[in-house]
Amino acid sequence: MSFFLETLAGGLLAGVMYALVAIGFVLIYKASGVFNFAQGAMVLCAALTFVTLTERDVPFWLAGLITLAIMVTLAVAVERIVLRPLVNRSQITLFMATLGLSYVIEGGSQFVMGASVHELDLGLSDLPVAIGPIQLSSFDLVAALTAGALVLALWLFFERTRIGVSLRAVADDPQAALSIGIRLPVLWATVWAVAGFVALVAGLLWGARQGVQFSLTFVVLKALPVLIIGGFTSITGAIVGGLIVGAADALAEIYLGPLLGGSVSTWFAYALAVAFLLVRPAGLFGERAIERV
């Protein structure tokens, strides 16, 4: 039983790490109704910038601030150069723009900061901690707490601030929002900047776990089923979706993998996402699209 609990808890904690990346997607989707393909590249860019600075003896906090400033600058540049010319274009046009953007950010980051692998030490130990009959990673526990704090901050931002309310209005109908005087460029730049901050947090935690390298962009592979299950428009959904994907992946790998003769976590999360799509197309917490015809 303790092995089952340990696997489940390990999976849930791994799921929180996926949720951290998924939150970045949710932010952009809420503001523009677009699946931001460049989110993985933003995670790489943030982590690579941070580690490049700390390796040049820039203090930890200052490196964090400079990286954040760079991510905000990037957000403003994306709004000016990519999004503004595409206002009121179809969602697929915006999606393709983010696809192109991902190549630019990935290539640009590697061109400027190099393709080497970097160690990122956040000063958090990653040794086993015994909690009752089960062992958990102290690092994963800190990551879970960080994700919790982030969700709380973002919830406050979206629910309790004027900008948050405006963002929700823009997400519902950009043209109507523009007509009542909401400044779309400012909002888009703001939400991309917040997504950049989330990418920085995700990049630091994933970078500390696996090293800062190009494969950070791969973490988005698991964010997609998380979003389908949790819903594209809900931060809470991203967390719940992450927990479901993490736990299901871990349990399937342990109990189903040996029966099927190989690793199942490559496809299991996607199979689960398809099952959710059939039952709840908008995901657990997503907003159902209602269109008048």
265, 270, 280, 284: residue in contact with other proteins (rule CB under 8 A)? 265
Write down the least CB distance from residue 263 to other proteins, Å: 4
Q: Does 131 bind other proteins (CB under 8 A)?
A: no
Q: How far apart are CA 146 and CA 158, in angstroms?
A: 18
Q: What angle do CA 136, 238, 70 make, to 5 degrees?
A: 90
Out of 91, 183, 266, 281, point to the residue binding other proteins (CB under 8 A). 266
* Structural contact between residues 284 and 228, judged by C-beta atoms closer than 8 angstroms: no
How far apart are alpha carbons 249 and 14 in whole angstroms?
Answer: 9
Residue 211 binds other proteins (CB under 8 A): yes
DSSP element (H, E) containing 280: none
Taking the C-alpha atoms of residue 93 and residue 244, their distance in angstroms, rounded to an integer, is: 31
104 binds other proteins (CB under 8 A): no
Provide the β-strand partners of residue 141: none
Q: Tell whether residue 132 is a contact of other proteins (CB under 8 A).
A: no
The stretch among 10-18, 90-98, 177-185, 271-279 that binds other proteins (CB under 8 A) is 10-18
Break the chain down into helix, strand, coil percent, rounded to 5. Answer: 75, 5, 20
Identify which of residues 117 and 275 has a Cβ nearer to other proteins in the complex.
117
Cβ-based burial of 119 (10 A; exposed 0-12, middle 13-18, buried ≥19): exposed
Out of 7, 70, 72, 104, point to the residue binding other proteins (CB under 8 A).
7
Selected from 59, 100, 108, 114, the binder of other proteins by CB under 8 A is 114
For residue 288, the tally of other CB atoms under 10 A from its CB is 10
Which of 62, 77, 81, 115 binds other proteins (CB under 8 A)? It is: 115
Q: Where are the beta strands (DSSP E) in 94-252?
A: 128-131, 134-137
Residues 140-179 binding other proteins (CB under 8 A) are 140
> What are the angstrom distances between the C-alpha of 233 and each of 111, 230, 268?
34, 9, 23
Instruction: Read off φ and ψ for residue 284, nearest 5 degrees.
Output: -65, -40
Interface pick for other proteins out of 22, 197, 222, 272 (rule CB under 8 A): 222
Residue 17 touches other proteins, criterion: CB under 8 A? yes
Token output for 195: 């997504």
Report the residue from 254, 277, 282, 284 that binds other proteins according to the rule CB under 8 A: 254
Whichever of 79 and 249 has its CB closer to other proteins, that residue is 249
Applying CB under 8 A, which part among 117-125, 183-191, 236-244, 272-280 lies near other proteins?
Answer: 117-125
Which residue lies nearer to other proteins by CB, 109 or 233?
A: 109
Footprint of other proteins (CB under 8 A): 3, 6-7, 10-11, 13-14, 17, 107, 110, 114-121, 126-128, 135, 137, 139-140, 206, 209-215, 217-219, 221-222, 249-251, 253-254, 257, 262-263, 265-266
